[in-house]
């Protein structure tokens, strides 16, 4: 399924969930022919995200709604800013209002937090990555918000990369068996996917380096000092394999991991515990 199809399915499901057999409040109070305008009012400083998706929502529900955009995705916004004005049937505006806000507030919150993390990495070569710890059904939008905020996407799902995590390694019978199994699988299925393996200590790191054949090594729950040691160990024998830090890394510690020399730092908090950015859709 394409990204566009996933977004359309999300919008369809969201309207079904919200409207059901009808928005009876709007239907009983607003004449069908009434037209008007509403503005998207920013109420909190941050990075704007989801404008393009808002337009999709409006047009999905009512193709005749017109949207005049003043501020696009990725813009630093302040309280009082107006991102866009939507014009058309008032019934349509009222019935799309909450879905537009739900999407834009969450996407903007994610973009804002991601931007904050990226600023902490300035001057290093590290990039912040999202994870699969996303809201079911909203992953495409949340990962898009991470990119708007300046971060990078890890794998989108289970289908576009092989990531051998600790449970895979343990169930497979160890580092070497897990890696060999992945290599054989890709050869048998004639697939070209990157292979990443999660390691938990220096012994597993040495084994992963001995076996070889992986594109990225994830250093899980290492301290910054252990990360620095691991980076030196890897770079002494392999300059091509990518290195990723993961596990409980937050605002206060991310810089330490970046300065240790890893290429990527994955942060689940970008999507699993973010605060939405405050905004509202107000009648003009």
Instruction: Output the DSSP codes for 108-154.
Output: HHHHHHHHHHHHHTTTSS-EEE--S---TT-HHHHHHHHHHTT-B--
Output the pLDDT for position 199. Answer: 97
Q: Which of 111, 98, 118 minimizes the C-alpha distance to 142?
A: 111
pTM summary value: 0.95
**Domain at 3-116+275-283, CATH homologous superfamily:** Quinolinate phosphoribosyl transferase, N-terminal domain (3.90.1170.20)
pLDDT digits (tens, 9 = 90+) for 178-188: 999 999 999 99
List every span in the chain annotated with CATH 3.20.20.70: 119-272
Phi-psi region of 167 (alpha: psi -120 to 50; beta: other; left: phi over 0): alpha
Rounded distance between C-alpha atoms, residue 113 and residue 284, angstroms: 31
119-272 maps to which CATH number? 3.20.20.70
Output the pLDDT for position 204. Answer: 98
**Which residues contact residue 73 at a Cβ distance below 8 angstroms, ignoring those fewer than 6 apart?**
48, 49, 50, 51, 52, 111, 148
Catalytic residues: 98, 133, 165, 198, 220
CB 277 within 8 A of CB 115: no
Average pLDDT over residues 190-218: 97
List every span in the chain annotated with CATH 3.90.1170.20: 3-116+275-283
Q: What's phi and psi for 37, nearest 5 deg?
A: -140, 150
Give the model's confidence band at 139: pLDDT under 50 very low, under 70 low, under 90 confident, else very high: very high
Output the pLDDT for position 5. Answer: 94
pLDDT digits (tens, 9 = 90+) for 149-185: 999 999 999 999 999 999 999 999 999 999 999 999 9
């Amino acid at each position: 399924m394409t990204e566009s199809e996933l977004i359309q399915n999300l919008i369809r499901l969201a309207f079904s969930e919200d409207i059901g057999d009808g928005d009876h409040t709007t239907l009983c109070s607003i004449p069908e022919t009434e037209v008007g305008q509403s503005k998207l009012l920013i109420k909190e400083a941050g990075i704007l995200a989801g404008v393009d998706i808002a337009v999709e929502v409006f047009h999905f529900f009512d193709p005749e709604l017109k949207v005049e955009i003043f501020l696009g995705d990725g813009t630093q916004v302040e309280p009082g800013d107006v991102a866009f004005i939507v014009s058309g049937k008032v019934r349509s505006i009222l019935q799309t209002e909450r879905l537009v806000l739900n999407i834009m507030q969450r996407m903007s919150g994610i973009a804002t937090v991601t931007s904050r993390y990226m600023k902490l990495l300035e001057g290093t070569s590290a990039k912040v990555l999202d994870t699969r710890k996303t809201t079911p059904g909203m992953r495409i939008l949340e990962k898009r918000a991470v990119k708007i905020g300046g971060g990078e996407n890890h794998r989108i799902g289970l289908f576009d990369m092989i990531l051998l995590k600790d449970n895979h390694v343990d169930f497979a019978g160890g580092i070497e068996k897990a890696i060999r199994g992945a290599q054989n699988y890709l050869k048998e299925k004639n697939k070209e996917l990157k292979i990443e393996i999660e390691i938990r200590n220096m012994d597993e790191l040495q084994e992963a380096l001995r076996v070889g054949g992986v594109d990225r090594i994830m250093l899980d729950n290492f301290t910054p000092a252990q990360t620095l040691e691991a980076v030196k160990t890897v770079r002494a024998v392999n300059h091509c394999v990518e290195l990723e830090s993961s596990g409980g890394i937050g605002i206060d510690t991310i810089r330490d991991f970046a300065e240790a020399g890893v290429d990527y730092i994955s942060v689940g908090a970008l999507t699993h515990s973010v605060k939405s950015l405050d905004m509202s859709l107000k009648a003009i």
